[in-house]
């Protein structure tokens, strides 16, 4: 057998283009990759992607536009596309395109792909896209200069990686095509098999990969070479002893479940569904039944209950039942609901019972299995670990779901950890959206999620440096899975726990082989490094195929089936009929008849052949015939797809859910550093339409930019706890503020909003200690307390603003002749020291003994430390004794009058419609506090001011929304020939969805808009296409007004950034002037003259 020459670029001398921070082994691997096709076999975290990027840099001069050559970076999973694309962008100046299935690439034609190849130099995509593109001749292999395979160990069998090499690369190699791409593979394990018995068997698998990829493996001599650069997790085996569920409990539960399934099987028979529909429902029932039995035996009865509860959720999209009709879905849901009742009868009840109270006792009772208990105890061993990031790998989706449920109930009470789960979308059980999965990973990265229970979806590609614990709840399926999951623990001194049943000797033996596999694979790869790759046997890649001579497009036996199914899916259909092919196979005669839908010009195809290949032979023959009559184009795509692409120029472009959020430019500016600046003042007049002992005060909005008239003079209502609060704005003039005054105002509003939103003194101190007046782009406006206009010419209450700089050093200034509150002592002992009692009326205090903050309204003249405090149980105790018993504090000034403290108000969404109103004040709203336990942090600050400021996040959210709506209105009016007066509030209604839960939303306007669009489209088509029949006109109309087409037009005009789709969450509101968070503002232009910001 002749060895294969891998040095395809031998005629061209390439120079390495390394990055300055590249490691020695990365540079060595780059040298190898430039000289010949290479598979880099290195541990997770060792920087394989960086080697690929340096290879792209070395080839950059060959692929820069206007060169027709490109580089293609293939990945096995969608979430790796943006990750790898961003890495290439970061370290090169090459233009990078990203592609995955949901983008609608299945419907792209050759012209669209040519535009992409002309535009980008590196195309990062999932593997199936390139395979389909090569088969349809949208891509040419000789125009791909570098072909990178991420996680190339998948290249075997009928995997797209293997098909690319077998169907296109190796035939080109045999025909002496010297324009084939440089192959570069990346893997943490070159084999994907269960434990192998000998070094020779390891080499056999490695050699198979080398021959298929026509590449030699590069690796380091040992882990010690990498140990200086990357941390390795420590494997630890956790043994547990299996304990069966009590026999009587198991017997009763199995009998109940069988009886329940028999009942629903009978219900299914009585429905008289079509055979295919009945079979589908029966399969779902059997799958549910098996899932319940699995959970019960492997996880415990309580876990089986949680599985049934999850599967019985009504009105959720957590579980995907496939294409079931209404009756079938009802049976499935009813079976799950009744299974909940079955399991519930065997679970202890009562408000005091909790699954985590005594996990060992619950294990003995069969509610949890020993395996689950071992997991809980293993996790709790790390409860003292700071910033835990743990991934628990399981085999089944249902295991991930119920373990997440258990840990979410248990861990917050024991360690304050948050748990999520992640699973792929191919299971049929659940359907997490890609956005949800991305949010979970990002929250895990930020530490907002501590534990993820995941299937194999997270074994590859997740790069989180702070992950410090990986637990294999279920054993790895193969060596590759073992190595990949171990590599997720990226932090120094991280652990890799392997849970194994003590009696399971085979699994223990397999794990020992897995642990040794890395060294064996390295040794065998290095030992055979000089051995050239052998050519593939022709039987491996010379599969029967049909090729279109004019384009080079091909369809093989294996790919013909999917092409026929795709063709049928594009035939006319509706909600009741989905066209699909059907095969009738006669095993005795070894014949097959492929029946195609009635709307297909070919009704049936009859073939003979090998019984194992009959369906593929029939589909390949159907592809040939369909192409010959023109139903399949010369690129072997359905003709209707091409027609739809012509008629709907932008129709199939999917909506990107990761849209920007616009922020009004009027509320953004830079702070003047050394000069006095002019500010516009707007009075926010608040009027209570309800009775409450705490009145509201007016607020002044101070900003650099002037508002439009209808925004600056608007009025609206907030739904407060006790009734409506009317808000009315009006312009009251301009003022000039110095940088010192601006600094003071910002400090005040940051102080007061942080108190309201965080109610955490330590966080407040940290933020204020780092506060300064930087000249950065930020949300910049001031919200300040207002004076009584009829009493004072100053509109801003500067005395209250100055409370933010309260200092005990200046506490005696101007207090020599002050009058203390009536019947109160002049001097009072506080945590600040001895101060004048006037400072304690209308102030904000912090009490270190319980970490709380209170607003003090005055003294309780009738109470002191010796007064009696009524307890919850009806008993009495003195305040002095209460603080001694509860906090261990001995009051030193027990005769001092107690202070009347009010708890801080909760900031809420007062824009939400139908808020439940409260008639009475909560019983714990006020407290009595000894002055010596109070630390004054703001004075003077009235409770009315604090109460009024609690409404401002909702008020400013409405103002922000109106300003964004005004930007949209003005952007549209710029293109109008006539002048129209459009109320900004009506534009806001048009961009507010029902999900915002406000008193108005876009649905009524949407109905009107849809009607107008249909009318306008019909009028235009009738005038311009008078020769077309009504059917074609209807199709053209639907293409014009389809959601996809309108979405594309809206995206082109930057409309998604204006649409409001979520209710206001005060926790996410940006405090103006506060730069302690991670908010970043990016300038964008709606037109050449209109600016807006993205946050």
- Is 973 strand, coil or helix? helix
pLDDT for the residue 56: 94
- Is 409 strand, coil or helix? helix
pLDDT tens by residue, 348-381: 887 778 887 888 888 888 899 999 999 999 998 8
Burial (CB count <10 Å: 0-12, 13-18, 19+), residue 1082:
exposed
**945-974 in b/e burial notation, b at 16+ Cβ within 10 A?**
bbbbbbbbbbbbbbbbbbbbbbbbbbbeee
pLDDT for the residue 321: 41
- Is 394 strand, coil or helix? coil
With beta carbons less than 8 A apart as the criterion, state whether 450 and 417 touch.
yes
568: left (phi over 0), alpha (psi -120 to 50) or beta: alpha
H or E stretch covering 359: helix 359-364
User: d(Cα 468, Cα 487) in Å, to the nearest integer?
Assistant: 10
pLDDT tens by residue, 99-121: 988 787 887 888 889 999 999 99
User: d(Cα 677, Cα 780) in Å, to the nearest integer?
Assistant: 13
Across 228-232, 440-444, 822-826, 1063-1067, least confident range? 822-826
Ranges of beta strands (E only) in 228-308 are: 234-240
What are the φ and ψ backbone dihedral angles of 360, each rounded to 5 degrees?
-65, -45
pLDDT tens by residue, 949-972: 999 999 999 999 999 999 888 888
Could you tell me the pTM of the whole model?
0.57
Question: CA 128 → CA 74, 76, 78, 124, 707, distances in Å?
Answer: 9, 9, 11, 12, 53
With CA atoms as reference, report the closest residue to 77 among 377, 424, 322.
424
- Is 303 strand, coil or helix? helix
User: d(Cα 107, Cα 113) in Å, to the nearest integer?
Assistant: 11
pLDDT for the residue 316: 36
User: d(Cα 890, Cα 174) in Å, to the nearest integer?
Assistant: 92
User: d(Cα 730, Cα 707) in Å, to the nearest integer?
Assistant: 10
pLDDT for the residue 1006: 86
Q: Kindly state the tokens that stand for 118.
A: 């002309």
Question: CA 521 → CA 155, 156, 214, distances in Å?
Answer: 17, 18, 18
Across 251-255, 270-274, 1054-1058, 1060-1064, least confident range? 270-274
pLDDT tens by residue, 560-603: 998 998 888 877 666 566 788 888 888 888 899 999 988 787 88
Q: What is the largest CA-CA distance in the chain?
A: 115
With CA atoms as reference, report the closest residue to 651 among 112, 1014, 22, 262.
112
Q: Kindly state the tokens that stand for 379.
A: 């996790």
With CA atoms as reference, report the closest residue to 391 among 337, 452, 311, 436.
452
pLDDT for the residue 97: 95
- Average pLDDT, integer, range 695-724: 90
Domain 544-647 has CATH 3.30.160: yes
Looking at beta carbons, which pairs linking 1076-1081 to residues 24 or more positions away fall under 8 Å?
1076/766, 1076/767, 1076/770, 1076/771, 1079/778, 1079/779, 1081/663, 1081/668, 1081/777, 1081/778, 1081/779
pLDDT for the residue 631: 79
Residue 318 pLDDT exceeds 50: no
User: d(Cα 826, Cα 837) in Å, to the nearest integer?
Assistant: 5
DSSP string, 1018-1044: HHHHHHH-TTS-HHHHHHHHHHHHSHH
- Is 938 strand, coil or helix? strand
pLDDT averaged over the chain? 84
- Is 642 strand, coil or helix? helix
User: d(Cα 440, Cα 431) in Å, to the nearest integer?
Assistant: 14
Q: Which residues touch 651 (CB under 8 Å, ≥6 apart)?
A: 644, 1039, 1042, 1044, 1045, 1048
- We find that the CATH architecture of domain 808-938 is Beta Complex (2.170)
Residue 1060 pLDDT exceeds 70: yes
User: d(Cα 714, Cα 684) in Å, to the nearest integer?
Assistant: 10
With CA atoms as reference, report the closest residue to 768 among 846, 833, 668, 670.
846
Residue 800 pLDDT exceeds 50: yes
Q: Kindly state the tokens that stand for 688.
A: 């209570």
- Average pLDDT, integer, range 61-65: 93
What ranges do the domains of the chain cover?
24-229, 247-344, 369-515, 544-647, 662-806, 808-938, 960-1094
Burial (CB count <10 Å: 0-12, 13-18, 19+), residue 716:
middle
- Average pLDDT, integer, range 401-411: 89
pLDDT tens by residue, 13-40: 566 777 888 888 889 999 999 999 999 9
- Is 992 strand, coil or helix? strand
What is the DSSP-derived secondary structure letter of residue 372?
Answer: H
Band (323; pLDDT cuts 50, 70, 90): very low
CATH number of 24-229: 3.40.50.300
The domain defined by 369-515 folds into Rossmann fold (3.40.50)
Q: Which residues touch 584 (CB under 8 Å, ≥6 apart)?
A: 592, 593, 595
Q: Kindly state the tokens that stand for 871.
A: 């307890």
Neighbours of 870 (CB within 10 A): 9
Across 95-99, 501-505, 774-778, least confident range? 774-778
Q: What percent of the chain has pLDDT over 90?
A: 31
**182-197 in b/e burial notation, b at 16+ Cβ within 10 A?**
bbbbbbbbbbbbebbe
Domain 960-1094 has CATH 3.10.129.10: no
User: d(Cα 316, Cα 81) in Å, to the nearest integer?
Assistant: 29
What is the DSSP-derived secondary structure letter of residue 638?
Answer: B
Q: Which residues pair with 725 in a beta bridge?
A: 688, 718
Q: Which residues touch 330 (CB under 8 Å, ≥6 apart)?
A: none
Across 191-200, 682-691, 997-1006, least confident range? 191-200
The residue to which tokens 């309201």 are assigned: 756
Q: Do domains 369-515 and 960-1094 have the same CATH topology?
A: no
pLDDT for the residue 276: 63
Q: Rounded to 5 degrees, what angle do the CA atoms 494, 495, 501 make? A: 170
pLDDT for the residue 582: 87
- Is 49 strand, coil or helix? helix
Band (285; pLDDT cuts 50, 70, 90): confident
pLDDT for the residue 480: 82
Residue 484 pLDDT exceeds 60: yes
Q: Which residues pair with 844 in a beta bridge?
A: 855, 938
With beta carbons less than 8 A apart as the criterion, state whether 10 and 53 touch.
no
pLDDT for the residue 11: 41
With CA atoms as reference, report the closest residue to 303 among 276, 256, 339.
339
Residue 412 pLDDT exceeds 90: no
With beta carbons less than 8 A apart as the criterion, state whether 448 and 418 touch.
yes
With beta carbons less than 8 A apart as the criterion, state whether 587 and 646 touch.
no
What SS3 string covers 599-611?
A: CCCCCEEEEECCC
User: d(Cα 424, Cα 76) in Å, to the nearest integer?
Assistant: 13
Band (1048; pLDDT cuts 50, 70, 90): confident
Q: Kindly state the tokens that stand for 687.
A: 């009027």
H or E stretch covering 226: helix 223-227
Q: Kindly state the tokens that stand for 637.
A: 């795509």
The residue to which tokens 């980008």 are assigned: 120
Residue 680 pLDDT exceeds 60: yes
With CA atoms as reference, report the closest residue to 732 among 675, 793, 667, 671.
793
Report which of residues 486 and 714 the model is more confident about. 714
With beta carbons less than 8 A apart as the criterion, state whether 213 and 166 touch.
no
User: d(Cα 512, Cα 518) in Å, to the nearest integer?
Assistant: 11
pLDDT for the residue 182: 95
pLDDT tens by residue, 621-664: 999 999 998 878 899 988 767 656 655 455 445 556 677 888 89
């Amino acid at each position: 057998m002749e060895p294969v020459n891998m040095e395809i670029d031998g005629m061209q001398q390439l120079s390495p283009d390394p990055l300055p921070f590249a490691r020695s082994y990365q540079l060595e691997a780059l040298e190898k990759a430039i000289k010949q096709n290479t598979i880099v076999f290195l541990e997770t975290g060792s920087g394989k992607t960086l080697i690929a990027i340096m290879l792209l840099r070395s080839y950059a001069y060959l692929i820069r536009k206007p060169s027709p050559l490109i580089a293609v970076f293939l990945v096995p999973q969608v979430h790796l596309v943006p990750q790898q694309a961003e890495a290439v962008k970061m370290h090169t100046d090459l233009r990078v395109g990203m592609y995955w299935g949901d983008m609608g690439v299945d419907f792209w034609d050759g012209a669209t792909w040519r535009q992409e190849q002309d535009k980008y130099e590196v195309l990062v995509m999932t593997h199936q896209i390139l395979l389909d593109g090569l088969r349809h001749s949208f891509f040419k292999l000789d125009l791909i200069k570098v072909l990178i395979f991420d996680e190339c160990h998948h290249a075997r069998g009928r995997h797209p990686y293997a098909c690319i090499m077998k169907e296109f690369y190796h035939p080109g190699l045999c025909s002496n095509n010297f324009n084939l791409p440089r192959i570069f593979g990346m893997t943490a394990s070159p084999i994907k098999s269960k434990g192998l018995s000998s070094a020779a068997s390891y080499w056999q698998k490695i050699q198979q990969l080398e021959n298929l990829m026509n590449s030699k493996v590069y690796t380091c001599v040992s882990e010690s070479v990498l140990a200086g650069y990357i941390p390795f997790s420590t494997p630890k085996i956790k043994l547990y002893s299996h304990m069966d569920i009590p026999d009587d409990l198991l017997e009763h539960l199995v009998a109940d479940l069988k009886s329940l399934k028999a009942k629903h099987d009978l219900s299914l028979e009585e429905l008289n569904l079509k055979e295919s529909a009945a079979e589908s429902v029966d399969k779902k029932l059997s799958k549910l039944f098996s899932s319940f039995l699995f959970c019960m035996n492997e996880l415990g009865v309580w876990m089986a209950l949680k599985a049934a509860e999850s599967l019985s959720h009504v009105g959720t999209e957590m579980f995907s039942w496939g294409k079931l009709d209404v009756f079938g879905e009802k049976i499935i849901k009813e079976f799950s609901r009744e299974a909940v009742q079955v399991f519930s009868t065997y679970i202890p009840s009562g408000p005091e019972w909790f699954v985590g109270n005594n996990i060992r006792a619950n294990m003995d009772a069969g509610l949890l299995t020993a395996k689950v208990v071992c997991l809980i105890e293993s996790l709790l061993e790390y409860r003292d670990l700071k910033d835990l990031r743990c991934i628990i790998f399981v085999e089944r989706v249902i295991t991930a779901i119920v373990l997440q449920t258990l840990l979410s109930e248990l861990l917050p009470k024991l360690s304050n950890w948050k748990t999520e789960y992640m699973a792929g979308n191919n299971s049929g059980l659940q359907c997490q959206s890609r956005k949800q999965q991305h949010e979970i990973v990002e929250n895990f990265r930020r530490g907002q999620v501590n534990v993820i229970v995941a299937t194999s979806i997270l074994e590859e590609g997740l790069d989180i440096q702070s992950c410090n614990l990986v637990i294999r709840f279920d054993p790895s399926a193969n060596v590759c899975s073992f190595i990949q999951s171990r590599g997720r623990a990226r932090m120094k001194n991280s652990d890799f726990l392997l849970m194994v049943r003590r009696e399971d000797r085979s699994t223990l033996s397999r794990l020992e082989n897995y642990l040794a596999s890395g060294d064996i694979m390295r040794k065998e790869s290095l030992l055979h490094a000089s051995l050239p790759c052998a050519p593939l046997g022709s039987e491996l890649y010379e599969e029967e195929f049909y090729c279109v001579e004019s384009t080079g497009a091909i369809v093989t036996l294996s790919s013909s089936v999917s092409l026929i199914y795709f063709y049928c899916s594009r035939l006319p259909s509706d909600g009741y009929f989905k066209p699909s092919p059907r095969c009738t196979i006669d095993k005795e005669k070894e014949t097959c008849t492929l029946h195609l839908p009635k709307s297909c010009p070919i009704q049936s195809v009859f073939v003979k052949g090998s019984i194992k290949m009959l369906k593929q032979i029939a589909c390949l023959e159907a592809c040939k015939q369909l192409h010959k009559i023109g139903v399949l184009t010369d690129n072997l795509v359905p003709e209707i797809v091409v027609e739809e692409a012509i008629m709907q120029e932008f129709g199939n472009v999917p909506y990107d859910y990761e849209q920007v959020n616009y922020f009004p430019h009027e509320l953004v500016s830079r702070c003047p550093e050394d000069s006095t600046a002019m500010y516009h003042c707007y009075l926010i007049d608040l009027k209570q339409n309800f009775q409450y002992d705490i009145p509201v005060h007016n607020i002044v909005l101070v900003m650099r930019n002037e508002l439009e008239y209808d925004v600056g003079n608007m009025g609206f209502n907030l739904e407060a706890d006790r009734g409506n609060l009317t808000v009315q704005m009006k312009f009251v003039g301009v003022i000039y503020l110095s940088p010192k005054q601006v600094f003071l105002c910002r400090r005040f509003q940051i102080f007061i909003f942080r108190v309201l939103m965080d109610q955490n003194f330590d966080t407040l101190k940290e933020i204020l200690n780092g506060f300064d007046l930087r000249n950065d782009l930020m949300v910049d406006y001031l919200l300040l307390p207002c004076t009584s206009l009829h009493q004072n010419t100053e509109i801003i209450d500067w005395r209250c603003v100055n409370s933010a700089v309260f200092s005990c050093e200046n506490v005696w200034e101007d207090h020599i002749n002050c009058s203390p509150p009536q019947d109160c002592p002049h001097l009072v002992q506080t945590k600040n020291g001895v101060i004048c009692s006037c400072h304690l009326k209308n102030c904000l205090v912090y009490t270190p003994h319980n970490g709380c903050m209170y607003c003090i309204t005055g003294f309780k003249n009738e109470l002191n430390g010796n007064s009696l405090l009524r307890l919850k149980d009806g008993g009495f105790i003195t305040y002095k004794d209460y603080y001694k018993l509860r906090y261990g504090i001995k009051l030193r000034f027990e005769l001092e009058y107690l202070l009347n403290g009010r708890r801080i108000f909760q900031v809420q969404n007062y824009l939400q419609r139908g808020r439940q109103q409260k008639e009475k004040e909560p019983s714990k709203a006020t407290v009595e506090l000894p002055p010596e336990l109070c630390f004054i942090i703001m004075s003077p600050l009235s409770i009315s001011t604090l109460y009024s400021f609690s409404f401002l996040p909702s008020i400013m959210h409405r103002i922000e929304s109106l300003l964004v709506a005004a930007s949209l209105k003005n952007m549209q009016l710029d293109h109008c020939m006539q002048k129209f007066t459009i109320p900004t509030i009506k534009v806001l209604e048009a961009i507010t969805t029902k999900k915002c839960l406000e008193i108005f939303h876009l649905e009524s306007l949407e109905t009107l808009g849809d009607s107008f669009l249909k009318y306008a489209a019909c009028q235009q088509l009738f005038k311009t296409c008078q020769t077309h029949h009504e059917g074609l006109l209807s199709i053209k109309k639907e293409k014009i007004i389809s959601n996809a087409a309108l979405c594309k037009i809206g995206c082109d005009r930057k409309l998604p950034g204006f649409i409001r789709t979520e209710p206001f969450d005060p926790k996410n509101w940006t405090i103006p002037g506060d730069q302690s968070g991670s908010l970043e503002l990016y300038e964008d232009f709606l037109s050449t003259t209109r600016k807006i910001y993205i946050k």
